Structure 1
Amino acid sequence: MLNIVRRNLGRLFKLSIFLFLEVLLFFIINNYFSLITITDFKTTFMIIVFLSILNAILWPTISYISLRFIVFTLGFGTFLIDGLLLWLMSSYLGGFQISGWSLFLVPLIIGLINSLLSILLSVDMDESYYQRILRNQLNNDKISKKDGYLFIEIDGLAKDVLTDAIDNGHMPHLKRLLESTHKLLSWQTDLSSQTSASQAGILHGNNENIVAFRWVEKENDNRIISSNSLADAGKIEKRISNKKGLLSDHGASRSNLFSGDAEDYLLTYSKLKNFYSKSWYYLYSTPYFIARLLLLFAFDMLMEVTSRIRQLITNKKPRMHRGLKYFIARAGANVVMREASTYSLIGDIYSGKYNVIYSTYMGYDEIAHHSGIRDFDSFYALKQIDKQFKHILYAIDHSNRKYNIVILSDHGQSQGPTFKQKYDKTLDDLVQENIPETMKIHSILHSNDDHLLETIKLKSYMKYNKQRITKKIDNTKDNIAGRIDNTKDSIANRLDNSVENITERVDSSRQQLSNIKIKARNKLPIDEFKNKKVLIKGNEPIMDKLNKINDEYSLDVDLNNDEVITKNEAQSIVLASGNLGLIYFTDWGGRMTYEQIEDAFPNLITTLANHPGIGFVLVKSALYGSIVLSDDNVYYLDDNKLVGEDFLKVYGKNIIKQLKRTDKFKHVPDILVNSTYDVENDEVYAFEELIGSHGGAGGSQQQPFILCPRDWSDPGEIFGAQKVYKFFKENINRK
């Protein structure tokens, strides 16, 4: 009893200090800027007190009625509503006048003061007035008694970094879970260790054909599909969804890339076209949510300034240039999305409406990309995420419905200097050096792709590609006659080594090899060379070797080209997904074979495979099937045969499975490359300008974690995001 009295007296004292400081600060600011005409300090006190009382009484109802207006003004409508309340007060109270811009600015300043004092005086958000009101509104006896499930993803956090954060005291609330009710598991991603592949697998149980974060669809006019494009994210979900996603049983999606077939979604990329939801009420049930966001946003930008200064003074390596736009990107991911996720989850828990809820915290991933996976700033982001667990666990304890909480990551990150920092050139520079100078390359090697919409970034390429396609259609008839006339000349000049004549060679490898197999009376010569694995060795172009086989064995097979691709027409697209690179040649309708690439660009594959910063190259041979190259070493995927040193073992025991699965995807690039993984220094070299990266193979980027209840079944090895989906579904259905 005595403790309760002391606690209540302490709250009353803190409230008195809070109110006095709020009035004093507003009085000083108003006198300095002359926002409204106030006669004295007493009037200022009355304004603050009466506005607080009106908000306490009316705000829950006002915000619910005007929710659509608040949402579509991005929350800033809350200040206009409070401005209207102040205008009404001025008519009855007297002593002050308010009009014009002050109707917006005065509530904004009062909100900022209120939020600042709440942070400085450590006002407990869980026991704040508006949280109590929300809890009483939503918590009732009609809530389902069936267990609910709450999945919280920490984007980009590898298991080993999580362990370091717990051991170093950065995540005490998560540590308590681990010590009391939960167990820590690891799982391995698919080859594409990035959000769209992982969330598609986890939320929908299907990530087929998601070869990387973005890819080219040749059959769709060489369209670049980007996972976080506003248009493409929805299309991808339609392809992968069978309406049986993880959230299909009355579920809710919060701040995710895909919806998991949820019935309600908030800030979910694939559903952003349907922006409005009544669940926004959970955020705007307090009048000062946006004011709090603005303060935290500004503080996070200040943290970024100090981070840059600290890294400069300590000469931290590797580090990267971070422009002005990154201030917005960082604070958006680390503050806005974090706070929105937490407030919406608390509302979901109190309402008890949804059986399964999935939400993503993306602040760590964003900061680790640019500062490093174990930088001070990255651990700071994890501290802030851990504080959210405190509020969420409090809500679970005070809800009328039991929610089982599962915390996981979709992938990790691996650190290292970028490919450009390490070798003073980008992947597209390397490609350009080994193709004709006049051949245009379109590349996307920029960062922030997990968290920022990409539609604007692709507009220039889409416009160019449309013009190019239109031009090609208009010129088709004229080009056909010219191509037929050029065929004989191209054949006669096959042995000319100039770049100009090479690019005028005929494209035919797939048909050539098909003809060899169909027309040859004796297939033994071909089988002999396939078994010896000799055609890939040496410097002689593989097409010349095939011609010699044809002549030597009198196979009577036409090895001439059926289409001429001139150097002015051929184009290339180079994409990056962390340390995974994708190279497409868009004037070939399907996936080019190794033989075709060697014929058109004789030095390209050899240069890539021999480069010290590239760990392996995957291409499709018409003769040998899929092959993986590194220096003079070759792994024949179809035959499971290695010639040379085992260059793939550093990428883990499942790398062959990962490569075979990816190789079957519909939109695999003509050339897929993965950077070197330096085991000794635990470094990869991202083709994007990111020092913490993910998207390919090598290091901890493929080692995320799952923190689940101890009574969940033992899954054994979890390999691939689709297995995570099955593991979650099995344990949900088991209960």
Structure 2
Amino acid sequence: MPGAPDDARARRRAWAPLVDLRDVAVAVVTTAVGLGVGVAVVDGVSAVTPWGLLLTTLAVGLGDLLLREPLRALARLAGAGGALVTGLAAQVAVVWGALAVVPGVAVSSPWSVLWVLVVTAVVMAAGRWAWGASDNAYVVADLVRRARRHARRGDGQGRTAGGEDPAGARPPGLLVVQLDGVGADVLDQAVDAGLVPTMQRWVEEGTHRVVPWWASVPATTPASQAGLLHGAADAIPAFRWWDRGLGRLVVTNRPDDAALVEERLTDGAGLLSGGGTAVATMFSGDAASSYLVMSRGRRHGLGPGPGYVAFFARPFVLARAVTVTVAEVVKELYQARRQRVHDVRPRVPRGGWYVLLRAVTNVLLRDLTTSLVADALVRGDPVVYVDLVDYDEIAHHAGPTRPESLRALEGLDQVLRLLEQVALVAPRAYEVVVLSDHGQALGATFAQVEGRSLLETVRALMAEPDVAGVQSAGGEPWGPLNALLTSTLGRAGEAVVVGPDAGDDRARGRARARRREDASAPRVREHGRAAPAGTGGEVPDVVVVGSGNLGLVWFPAWPERPTLEDLGERWPALVPGLAARPAVGLVVVRSRAHGLLAVGARGVRALEVDGDVVEGDDPLAPYPGRARADLVRAARLPHTGDLLLVSAVGRRGHVHAFEGQVGSHGGIGGPQNRAFLLHPAGWAVDDARCAPVDGERMLVGADAVHHQLVDWLRAAGVRP
């Protein structure tokens, strides 16, 4: 567990009862003030004296206490959806009942009660902001107080109020917090800017060390989480890909596709096997309990219902989260306008659904996941893994080192501080590991540099501008929301999908293919364009996918991956034309004679022969030293593209995403591949698992980090 020296722990233990009393008093006063404002401005509710408001506040607290266990029992039967519905109803009922029974207070309708809830939440959120308090501490405040009371009583496990375990009575545990997209260099900047004081304190007090690790190509969340949670990063070639066997795109932020992928990669012994819990991840890690996990969205829904009661049923908690979510919308509108007014470059549009997506992801879902993780710690689950996507979401649209992106780390650090407080009083002696899955690199998009999309470029070089094609838009940030919607609204056999990938060109490409069937019949028969049995319909001639600055191109007409010679016979201008584009750094293609080749604008390098076999200028020269090994690995993965494109890299490490992102990851170049690992100082990284990267030894690939985590779990006694 991240901890302070012994004297600091002793002080915390001594002051714990007074801290609890102070927190309760503050909560009562702020709630009473909020209720007072609500009663004053909402028609249909009135109070004669201030004492009536104070009594109402106490009655609300008592009602919440009495209903808590019945609601948890009901949630066990009704699930997360039932917890949401009954929780909202319970909030209104508790406040209505309190207003109705307290002398001197009158209420006319449940609508008035609902508006009192909203106004009170707004006032309380504004008060916390003005006071400078953590904007989500209220989510776990009651949970921490109850855990402290159990700890002071010993809870039958020998614990003290400060969470210490002097006799070794508490079994060990591990909490892993993933800060999505936060590169090692960005973390250093955040430390210097004073935005991550919790992590900075852990390092300065000597309880933790921070080291970089190398996120191999494809440097995406699905590949990294497949590695971190299952040790199976090789199962995923990109964020989305064409599956020749299925005859369609597989998109990992769609719950049904995520489930399909996990079935292929899991061996049942993932990082969270043996009773662990996964929260807001793409894959489950073979956890016993999962909440908001993409791959289990269809089969398991949102997860066990009781975990949601603390968030959905407690008065003002959900209402305050919704209030701050609305404030986040306003903040995003202001920050986007600021970039436009000051002509910040490079930049991408930040309107449309993204505005709401950022608010929901960075406030509502963050508060919900914080509550779920805290509940898992208080339950004593042996290993808990959570993915926090706040920074990654903003950095894609604002840029990885822009002010609003860095400020997102401040909120994530507050979550770590809250979870630290919960870990102090949990029934297990938790150690905490914080890591990222990749970094991000800044740069103008491919379309901004070239003036057209990658699909349009490929069509032009094929000399077939009307060829039936699929281009999948970027939709990574929609993952958590897709999991939530599918779990709550999806029906059997039907996935609920929102975001750019919900409207990709697959259907339009097939329609064009059917319209052109007669005119292209000889070519169709020659290349076998018919879709695999059971897929229903034709496959397109070309599929183009952007995964950050990694572009992948497939030609589904070929039953297997075509070679450079095949493509040269059919479209002689395609590969050299792509390599010559200003926004493209190199194209990886398979040759019959020489294996994998990296083709640049002025040179070619053989990737699978001994030594440096280069004709002309080395296309790998602008890239990190791991480029050759990473590209060979990526180009040999199952389902990988027939062509792999990596964008050009500028002298400042700027790249060009093949999707609409000013901050991107997925390929190689710039700081996107340098992730970080913050681990307990007493847990050493095994040097035998490390490899040299540009003169520095570090863990290479998410699989290596997975095996290191498993070694630590075994050494700590958490895992047999």
Q: 1:576 to 1:5 in 2, by over 3 A?
A: closer
Offset, 1:339? 1.4
For residue 92 of structure 2, what is the aligned residue in structure 1? Answer: 83
For residue 411 of structure 2, what is the aligned residue in structure 1? Answer: 384
Paired AA for residue 622 in structure 2: V
Q: 1:161 to 1:570 in 2, by over 3 A?
A: closer
Offset, 1:195? 0.2
Secondary structure in structure 2 of the residue aligned to 1:383: helix
2:542 counterpart of 1:572: yes
Offset, 1:191? 1.0
For residue 728 of structure 1, what is the aligned residue in structure 2? Answer: 709
2:63 counterpart of 1:55: yes
Paired AA for residue 642 in structure 1: V
2:564 counterpart of 1:594: yes
Stretch of structure 1 that moved more, 376-385 or 624-633: 624-633
The Cα offsets for residues 270-328 of structure 1, whole Å up to 9 and x where unpaired, read as 11121231322343463322112112212211221221232233321111111131111
2:253 counterpart of 1:228: yes
Instruction: Give the one of 626, 631, 643 matched to 2:615.
Output: 643
Instruction: Give the one of 69, 72, 87 matched to 2:81.
Output: 72
Paired AA for residue 335 in structure 2: S
Paired with 2:281 and 2:552, the residues of 1 have a C-alpha distance of 25
Instruction: Give the one of 584, 587, 594 matched to 1:614.
Output: 584
Secondary structure in structure 1 of the residue aligned to 2:641: coil
Contact 2:474 2:660 in 1 (8 A): yes
Larger Rg: 1
Paired with 1:632 and 1:129, the residues of 2 have a C-alpha distance of 64
2:53 counterpart of 1:28: no
The Cα offsets for residues 388-423 of structure 1, whole Å up to 9 and x where unpaired, read as 111111122223421111110000000111112222
Paired AA for residue 65 in structure 2: I
Paired with 1:590 and 1:449, the residues of 2 have a C-alpha distance of 31
Instruction: Give the one of 411, 420, 423 matched to 1:393.
Output: 420
Paired AA for residue 724 in structure 1: V
Paired with 1:12 and 1:226, the residues of 2 have a C-alpha distance of 47
Q: 1:700 to 1:11 in 2, by over 3 A?
A: closer
2:330 counterpart of 1:302: yes
Contact 1:202 1:724 in 2 (8 A): yes
1:212-223, aligned counterparts within 5 Å? 212-221=238-247, 223=248
Stretch of structure 1 that moved more, 132-141 or 245-254: 132-141
For residue 711 of structure 1, what is the aligned residue in structure 2? Answer: 682
Instruction: Give the one of 341, 346, 350 matched to 1:322.
Output: 350
Secondary structure in structure 2 of the residue aligned to 1:705: strand
Paired with 1:5 and 1:134, the residues of 2 have a C-alpha distance of 12
Q: 1:425 to 1:214 in 2, by over 3 A?
A: same
Offset, 1:134? 5.3
Secondary structure in structure 1 of the residue aligned to 2:84: coil
Secondary structure in structure 1 of the residue aligned to 2:182: coil
Offset, 1:164? 0.8
**TM-score of the two chains, using structure 2 as the length reference:** 0.82
Secondary structure in structure 2 of the residue aligned to 1:706: strand
Give unmatched runs, 5+ long, in structure 2. Answer: 1-10, 160-168, 483-495, 529-537, 691-698
Offset, 1:128? 4.1
Offset, 1:673? 0.5
Contact 1:90 1:98 in 2 (8 A): no
Secondary structure in structure 2 of the residue aligned to 1:360: strand
Offset, 1:449? 4.2
Stretch of structure 1 that moved more, 401-410 or 77-86: 77-86
2:222 counterpart of 1:192: no
Paired AA for residue 321 in structure 1: P
Contact 2:215 2:701 in 1 (8 A): yes
For residue 133 of structure 1, what is the aligned residue in structure 2? Answer: 146
For residue 45 of structure 1, what is the aligned residue in structure 2? Answer: 53
Paired with 1:373 and 1:695, the residues of 2 have a C-alpha distance of 14
Instruction: Give the one of 334, 337, 346 matched to 2:374.
Output: 346
Secondary structure in structure 2 of the residue aligned to 1:573: strand
Secondary structure in structure 1 of the residue aligned to 2:432: strand
Contact 1:70 1:76 in 2 (8 A): no
Contact 2:91 2:313 in 1 (8 A): no
Contact 2:91 2:314 in 1 (8 A): no
Paired with 2:55 and 2:79, the residues of 1 have a C-alpha distance of 23
Paired with 2:377 and 2:121, the residues of 1 have a C-alpha distance of 26
Q: 1:65 to 1:444 in 2, by over 3 A?
A: same
Q: 1:43 to 1:580 in 2, by over 3 A?
A: same
Secondary structure in structure 2 of the residue aligned to 1:208: helix
Paired with 2:571 and 2:330, the residues of 1 have a C-alpha distance of 50
Secondary structure in structure 1 of the residue aligned to 2:683: coil
Stretch of structure 1 that moved more, 633-642 or 65-74: 65-74
Paired with 1:10 and 1:92, the residues of 2 have a C-alpha distance of 27
For residue 372 of structure 1, what is the aligned residue in structure 2? Answer: 399
Q: 1:343 to 1:414 in 2, by over 3 A?
A: same
Offset, 1:446? 3.1
Offset, 1:597? 1.1
Paired with 2:477 and 2:143, the residues of 1 have a C-alpha distance of 36
Q: 1:599 to 1:67 in 2, by over 3 A?
A: same
Secondary structure in structure 2 of the residue aligned to 1:432: helix
Q: 1:311 to 1:73 in 2, by over 3 A?
A: farther
Between the aligned residues of both structures, percent identity stands at: 25
Q: 1:433 to 1:734 in 2, by over 3 A?
A: same
Contact 1:201 1:721 in 2 (8 A): yes
Offset, 1:697? 0.8
Offset, 1:140? 2.8
The Cα offsets for residues 559-618 of structure 1, whole Å up to 9 and x where unpaired, read as xxxxxxxxx996211110000111112222211111121111121111101112111101
Offset, 1:166? 0.4
Offset, 1:129? 4.5
Paired AA for residue 295 in structure 2: S
Paired with 1:639 and 1:8, the residues of 2 have a C-alpha distance of 66
Paired with 2:513 and 2:450, the residues of 1 have a C-alpha distance of 35
Paired AA for residue 323 in structure 1: G
For residue 632 of structure 1, what is the aligned residue in structure 2? Answer: 602
Paired AA for residue 193 in structure 1: A
Contact 1:134 1:347 in 2 (8 A): no
Contact 2:586 2:600 in 1 (8 A): yes
Offset, 1:215? 0.3
Number of residue-to-residue matches in the alignment: 645
Secondary structure in structure 1 of the residue aligned to 2:576: helix
Contact 2:272 2:383 in 1 (8 A): yes
Offset, 1:661? 1.5
Instruction: Give the one of 195, 207, 213 matched to 1:170.
Output: 195
For residue 332 of structure 1, what is the aligned residue in structure 2? Answer: 360
Offset, 1:133? 2.8
The Cα offsets for residues 97-151 of structure 1, whole Å up to 9 and x where unpaired, read as 4335345444344444444445544668479445423554698335972211111
Paired with 1:730 and 1:8, the residues of 2 have a C-alpha distance of 38
Offset, 1:78? 3.0
Secondary structure in structure 1 of the residue aligned to 2:236: coil
Stretch of structure 1 that moved more, 188-197 or 420-429: 420-429
Q: 1:133 to 1:55 in 2, by over 3 A?
A: farther
Offset, 1:463? 4.3
Paired with 2:21 and 2:680, the residues of 1 have a C-alpha distance of 39
Q: 1:37 to 1:160 in 2, by over 3 A?
A: closer
The Cα offsets for residues 129-186 of structure 1, whole Å up to 9 and x where unpaired, read as 4542355469833597221111111000110110111012111110011112111111
For residue 497 of structure 2, what is the aligned residue in structure 1? Answer: 455
For residue 98 of structure 1, what is the aligned residue in structure 2? Answer: 108
1:253-264, aligned counterparts within 5 Å? 253-264=278-289
**TM-score of the two chains, using structure 1 as the length reference:** 0.80
Paired with 1:725 and 1:9, the residues of 2 have a C-alpha distance of 42
Q: 1:12 to 1:384 in 2, by over 3 A?
A: closer
Give unmatched runs, 5+ long, in structure 1. Answer: 484-502, 509-567
Paired with 1:393 and 1:415, the residues of 2 have a C-alpha distance of 33
Paired with 1:361 and 1:262, the residues of 2 have a C-alpha distance of 18
1:418-429, aligned counterparts within 5 Å? 418-429=445-456
